[in-house]
Amino acid sequence: MSKKIQETPETGLDSVNDSLTAMTQKVQDNKKIIMVCSLVVIAIAAIVLAYVYFFRNPGVQKQNDRIGAADLQLAQGNDSTAMVQYMALADEGSYDAANRAALQSAILLYQDGKYEDALKYVEKYSVKDEIIGAGAKSLKGDCLVNLDRLDEAVNAFKDAISTSNANPAYTPFFMMKLARVYAAQGKHNEEAGLYEEIVRDYPLYGQAHNIDVEKLLDRARLQAAK
């Protein structure tokens, strides 16, 4: 009759040793993972730094130099030369200088009566500041008015009003522009509503600019009542 081989039960010390071995292995595995992650982070940081110092910064400086040259031409009264330089930078660049060049291009093109081209460049401009940004939105509205695209102009002037953030010097100015578009569209109720807002919220605007806003309001109400 064969004897059964009796298994020796694992002692408490053996169990502890096994646990420590397993923990040690996990620590080693975690170290490898941490090391790999650290190397990936270092590699990404190196790529970012290389981009900033070897590509972005020289690119920014080059575009700053280009817009500086265009600004100089403009200051010397060479508007046509400046416009060409601004347009080239706006088309080719991708940094802040190119963004400002787009707005400068739009302004000069608008002054030259080239409203379609001015619209193209003002739409390239990305708003960075509430006042300049609001002015850019207003310029877009002016271009659209001159192109007889009044519905789009309404939206542009509304954007200008919103972007100007209730600035007492600029917001009522954009509201006046929008009111004139409404008048041209025969929407005299909307026109009157804007004049009412100006009288109520910006009571000093009319006096400061020698504009009788209340007279304009009365006229718009009469037109609306017809």
Residue 157 is predicted with a pLDDT of 98
Considering the domain architecture, whether residues 133 and 224 belong to the same structural domain is answered as yes
Considering the domain architecture, whether residues 132 and 96 belong to the same structural domain is answered as no
Domain-ending residue, one of 86, 103, 126: 126
DSSP letter string, 7-58: PPPPPHHHHHHHHHHHHHHHHHHHHHHHHHHHHHHHHHHHHHHHHIIIIIHH
Residue 62 is predicted with a pLDDT of 86
pLDDT digits (tens, 9 = 90+) for 108-118: 999 999 999 99
Considering the domain architecture, whether residues 74 and 158 belong to the same structural domain is answered as no
Indicate the pTM of the whole model.
0.73
Residue 65 is predicted with a pLDDT of 87
**Distance separating alpha carbons of residues 101 and 74, to the nearest angstrom:** 12
The enclosing domain of 118 has a CATH number of 1.25.40
Cβ-based neighbours of 64, under 8 Å, separated by 6 or more:
97
pLDDT digits (tens, 9 = 90+) for 13-59: 555 455 545 555 555 555 566 665 555 555 555 444 443 444 456 56
- Given a cut of 50, the residues of the chain with pLDDT beneath it are 1-10, 16, 20, 46-55
Considering the domain architecture, whether residues 35 and 90 belong to the same structural domain is answered as yes
